[in-house]
Amino acid sequence: MSFVYNADPERGREWQRLFAQRAPDIDFRLWPDIGSAEEVRYLGTWAPVEDLARFPNLEVVFSLGAGVDQFDLGSIPSHVPLVRMQESGIVATMQEYVAMAVLALHRNLVDYIAQQRSETWQALRVRPASQCRVGILGLGQLGAAVAQHLTGLGFACQGWSRTRRQLEDVACFAGGDELPRFLSTSQVLVCLMPLTAETRGILNAKLFTQLPRGASLINVGRGLHLVAADLLAALDSGQLSAAVLDVFDPEPPPVDHPLWHHPSVLITPHIASMTQPESAIERVLDNIARHREGREMVGVVDRQRGY
């Protein structure tokens, strides 16, 4: 019985060491050294793997990331569940990143970077975090954890989800009817939704006009949530004041893409959150145990919903 790992080889060696310690009965294999295809029961992968039919005894595909939009769900046999990565390391690193981005925007870091470049010394008004309302689009595992973390930092937090959620100290909005009211009071908007046919291109001109003038955007979802031309227009008209972008489509953005050089945009290379081998392996081994015992695994993708 083997587990095949298909992603960054350096982290793969860490997985290999941890698997040897914690699950010596499972033969851990690093792609492309997959051994006998008949023995492959579990596949851990970041990107889709072609021709899964070559693994006749495959039981589960584990996405090594939180998002599963990169997979063609139709190409995974229907009896093989696809499981997205829900583990504490991804959650904690996402909380850190969004806190960094919200604090950077709230404390005018974009302006101060420009000021430093022009040797300008000019203090801008400092307001307490409680006067800054952060709206989280998407209140799944990550969105909810981020909202609670920001609340702990003193920000006024609200969230929007397709179906209603309840979170302590976070105003929760739900469904299309409540979206305009949510947007009209979100001074910083954080996109943490899964990418689906419904959410593709949701960060567009129509949405930007519903935010308060001068609002800012943090995109830690997927590049395809954003219509980049609409963001540039909103920044240039002053409807939006700044954006922090961690995800693009394609990645990296082309060399001459105007977002690279826009003075109101901070860019990071898709590093907002990262699966942490220690905690991810605990989740995977727990899920394997659940699967063997016929119990429900954590994070199984609903193919209808797409996440």
- Rule CB under 6 A: say whether 284 interacts with ligand GLV: no
CA–CA separation, 156 and 154 (whole Å) = 7
Six token digits for residue 138: 């998407």
Nearest distance in Å: CB 212, ligand GLV: 28
Stretch of 59-67, 159-167, 175-183, 230-238 lying at the interface with ligand GLV (CB under 6 A): 59-67
- Rule CB under 6 A: say whether 65 interacts with ligand GLV: yes
For residue 70, give the amino acid letter: Q
Residue number, nearest CB to ligand GLV: 65
Site for ligand GLV in 156-185 (CB under 6 A): none
Say how far residue 225 (Cα) sits from the centre of its chain: 11
- Rule CB under 6 A: say whether 66 interacts with ligand GLV: yes
- Rule CB under 6 A: say whether 44 interacts with ligand GLV: no
Tell me, residue by residue from 81 to 100, as one string, x for binding to ligand GLV by CB under 6 A and - for no binding.
Answer: ---------x----------
Nearest distance in Å: CB 66, ligand GLV: 4
**Packed helices 277-292 and 88-106: angle between N→C axes, nearest 10 degrees:** 140
Side by side, the strands of the sheet bearing 27-30 are: 27-30, 2-6, 40-45, 60-63, 82-83
- Rule CB under 6 A: say whether 12 interacts with ligand GLV: no
Nearest distance in Å: CB 85, ligand GLV: 6
Residue 305 annotated as catalytic? no
- Rule CB under 6 A: say whether 280 interacts with ligand GLV: no
Stretch of 64-72, 224-232, 279-287, 292-300 lying at the interface with ligand GLV (CB under 6 A): 64-72
- Rule CB under 6 A: say whether 67 interacts with ligand GLV: yes
- Rule CB under 6 A: say whether 146 interacts with ligand GLV: no
Q: In 152-165, which positions are buried (b, 16+ CB within 10 angstroms) versus exposed (e)?
A: ebebbbbbbbbeeb
Contact 98/91 with Cβ under 8 angstroms? no
Q: Choose the catalytic residue: 222, 262, 283, 291.
A: 222
Candidates 191, 216, 183; CA nearest to 138 is 191
Give the binding-site size for ligand GLV (rule: CB under 6 A).
4
- Rule CB under 6 A: say whether 297 interacts with ligand GLV: no
What is the sign, positive or negative, of the torsion defined by CA atoms of 47, 51, 55, 58?
positive
Candidates 202, 273, 197, 205; CA nearest to 236 is 205
Give the pairing type, strands 82-83 and 171-174.
unpaired
Residue 283 annotated as catalytic? no
Active site positions, annotated: 222, 270
Summarize as ranges the residues that interact with ligand GLV (CB under 6 A).
Answer: 65-67, 90
